[in-house]
Amino acid sequence: MSSKPFNAFAMAQAQFDKVAELLGLDQPTRDLLRQPMREYHFSLPIRMDDGTMKVFRAFRVQHNDARGPGKGGIRFHPQETIDTVRALSMWMTWKCAVVDIPLGGSKGGIICSPHSLSMREQEALCRAWVRAVARDVGPVRDVPAPDVMTNAQHMLWMLDEFETIHGGRYPGFITGKPVGMGGSRGRTEATGYGVVFTLREALKELGIRAQGTTASVQGFGNVAQHAIDLYQQIGGKIVCVSCWDEGDQQAYTYRKKDGVDLAALRKIADRFGTLDKKKAVDLGYERLPGDAWIEQDVDILIPAALEHSITDENVGKISKRVKLIAEGANGPTTPEADHVLQERGIFVIPDFLANAGGVTCSYLEQVQSNMNYFWEKDEVLGKLDVLITAAFIAVSDMAKKRKLYMRDAAYVIAIARVAQACKDRGWV
């Protein structure tokens, strides 16, 4: 980990400033887009199971809604900060724009550790968060979704609270709901599958057959598990995964050189994607330090955990064999590390394109909820593949045409679209 304090929002703004310069944006547009339009900070008093009261800090940031209602997850994390939420809301704006869906960018967070909260306490937190922001969210204003350490159950509690307050049924208020309660089939797989849809297209472009390639994955949560699943289906081999260990308060990497067995690992993982150390070793996995995933001699790296994972301090450890990095996580690569990857000619599929499968499927869920008509899983994943593949091709074409790094090309497309929407509305 880098010793310098990391500020995700400063990084998001630096990325924006670079592209604003490339696009020659005027000053009012820059001023509008480099800050969120609205942000909410609230204190949530919760009665705990032992009868005591505890106050939790929580946020909702709405970065920009020129292209449609805000869209973005709500995360439960003990190290959550307002700057991380601001950065994520900004990245959501670009993510919706790059895949060309009619939504803007938002994000929410509660500073808490769900590992140490009972289900009743988590429910109380979900309902309190909705009560705090109920007037400023909704199907036509701002649509939340699950994120780090939140799931379909949390979304359903939030939906129930929102509907109780507004006196009606509004399934389009929130996405990531359980199937049968307004959730979309295919939503669970969507982000991980989206990563592999872009990976498949990138391999085609590099003239590499997916069969026989090897990859190392950071993370073993929902995104990582479904990315591993589809990547193995197209013939790839995963040699290691890493995950956070709550008990030891550190991450570990689990390696098996002849390929990991996804089904076996799923059996020894908890609902947060943490593997049982002893059982993993019993299954023949080597247990290595948490950052060992980045040093593996593989063709592909898939960072699919948290932001700030590839930094100027560890980028030099990436094997010379690595040809491709698919960013399943949000903001995993710092600008300094990006510079090194660009110089080395490693093909990077930027986060807000690679992991846009989640928000794209959330958009499909929202459409289904609003019209109260639901599609079969194959139809959802088929639509997802079409949207993600079209977005990848547009970014790749832009990169070639303007001789840009993939991340810059994706930003150029996304920021130009949002800037144009602000201009067309007469905001700038």
Active-site amino acid positions:
107
What are the tokens at 373?
A: 């008509």
Rounded Cα–Cα distance for residues 154 and 119 (Å):
9
Rounded Cα–Cα distance for residues 356 and 151 (Å):
18
Question: Among 219, 212, 402, 199, which residue's Cα sits nearest to residue 310?
Answer: 219
DSSP-derived secondary structure for 65-93: -TTSSEEEEEEEETT--HHHHHHHHHHHH
Burial 103-129 (b: 16+ CB within 10 A, else e): bbbbbbbbbbebeebeeebbbbbbbbb
Q: Per 3-state DSSP, what percentage of the chain is helix, strand, and coil (rounded to 5)?
A: 50, 20, 30
Please provide the size of the chain in residues. 428
Residue 35, amino acid:
Q
Rounded Cα–Cα distance for residues 106 and 88 (Å):
7
Question: Among 42, 356, 383, 364, which residue's Cα sits nearest to residue 177?
Answer: 364
Q: CB atoms < 10 A from the CB of 217, how many?
A: 31
> Across 122-249, where does the E strand assignment appear?
142-146, 214-218, 237-245
Question: Among 179, 143, 174, 147, which residue's Cα sits nearest to residue 160?
Answer: 174
In a 13 Å sphere around the CA of 125, the CA atoms on its Cβ side amount to: 28
Residue 8's Cβ-count burial label (10 Å; 0-12, 13-18, 19+) is buried
